[in-house]
Structure 1
Amino acid sequence: MPTVVLVRHGRTTANVAGVLAGRTPGVGLDDTGRAGAAALAQRLEPVRPAVVVSSPLERCVQTATAIAGGREVVTDDGLSECDYGDWTGRSLAELRREKLWKVVQEHPSGVVFPGGESLRAVQQRAVDAVRTRDTELAAEHGPGAVWFAVSHADVIKAVLADALGLHLDHFQRLVVDPCSVSVVSFTERRPFVLRVNDTGGDLGFLAAPARRRRRSTRGDAVVGGGAGDAR
Structure 2
Amino acid sequence: MTVILLRHGVSTSNTARTLAGRSAGVDLTDRGREQAQMVAGRLAALPIEHIVTSPLLRCQRTVAPLADKLGIEAEPDERLLEVDYGDWTGRALSELVSEPLWKIVQQHASAAVFPSGEGLAQVQFRAVSAVREHDRLLAEKHGTDVLWVACTHGDVIKSLLADAFGIHLDGFQRIVVEPASISVVRYSPTAPYVWRLNDTGTDLSTLAAISPHTGGESRSGPVPGGETGTTGSGDNGVTERPES
Q: Displacement of 1:52 after TM fit?
A: 0.7
What is aligned with 2:233?
Answer: 230
2:19 counterpart SS class: coil
Task: Provide the C-alpha distance between the structure 2 equivalents of 1:58 and 1:212, rounded to a whole number of angstroms.
Answer: 25
1:51 aligns with 2:62: no
- Structure 2 runs not aligned, ≥5 long: 211-216, 235-244
Q: Is the CA contact (8 Å cut-off) linking 2:206 and 2:233 kept in structure 1?
A: no
Residues in 1 aligned to 2:97 and 2:206: alpha-carbon distance in whole angstroms:
26
Task: Indicate how the Cα distance of structure 1 residues 211 and 4 shifts in structure 2: closer, same or farther if over 3 A, else same.
Answer: farther
Instruction: Provide the secondary structure at the position in 2 that maps to 1:51.
Output: strand
2:221 is the alignment partner of 1:186: no
CA RMSD of aligned residues (A): 1.7
Q: Tell me what 2:8 maps to.
A: 9
The higher relative CO (CA closer than 8 Å, separation ≥ 6) is in 1
* 2:111 paired residue number: 110
Return the alpha-carbon distance in structure 2 between the equivalents of residues 107 and 179 of structure 1. Answer: 27
8 Å CA contact 2:158–2:226 kept in 1: the answer is: no
Give the corresponding residue for 1:164.
165
Q: CA deviation at 1:211?
A: 7.8
Aligned match of 1:31: 30
Distance 1:210 1:144 in 2: 32
Measured after TM superposition, the shift of residue 129 of structure 1 is 0.1
* Superimposed CA distance per residue, residues 185-227 of structure 1 (whole angstroms, 9 cap, x where no aligned partner): 00011001000100005xxxxxxx9887234624431210238
CA displacement at 1:62 relative to structure 2: 0.8
TM-superposed deviation, 1:143 = 3.4
Percent of matched pairs sharing the same residue: 49
Q: Which moved more, 1:162-171 or 1:135-144?
A: 135-144
The answer to whether the 8 A contact 1:50-1:141 is kept is: no
Report the Cα distance in structure 2 between the residues aligned to 1:162 and 1:96, rounded to whole angstroms: 26
1:62-77 paired onto structure 2 within 5 Å: 62-68=61-67, 69=69, 70-77=71-78
2:49 & 2:231 partners in 1: Cα distance? 29
Alpha-carbon distance in 1 for matches of 2:205, 2:32: 20
Q: Residues of 2 paired with 1:29 and 1:217: CA distance?
A: 26
Contact 1:38 1:66 survives alignment (8 Å): yes
Superposed CA deviations along residues 88-114 of structure 1, whole A, max 9, x for unmatched, are 000000000111101100001000000
Segments ≥4 residues shifted beyond 6 Å:
209-212
State the Cα distance separating 1:228 from its structure 2 match. Answer: 6.2
Structure 2 length normalisation: TM-score?
0.87
| Gaps in structure 1 of 5+ consecutive residues | 202-208
Distance 1:72 1:174 in 2: 30
Q: Aligned partners of 2:206 and 2:112: how far apart in 1? A: 31
Between 80-89 and 218-227, report the one with greater CA deviation. 218-227
Equivalence for 1:196? 197
CA-to-aligned-CA distance 1:9-47 (integer Å, 9 cap, x gap): 010111011100000000011100000000110011111
Q: Sort the Cα spacing of 1:191 and 1:211 in 2 relative to 1 into closer, same or farther, 3 A.
A: farther
Partner residue in 2 for 1:42: 41
SS in 1 for 2:193: strand
d(CA) in 2 for partners of 1:196 and 1:173? 12
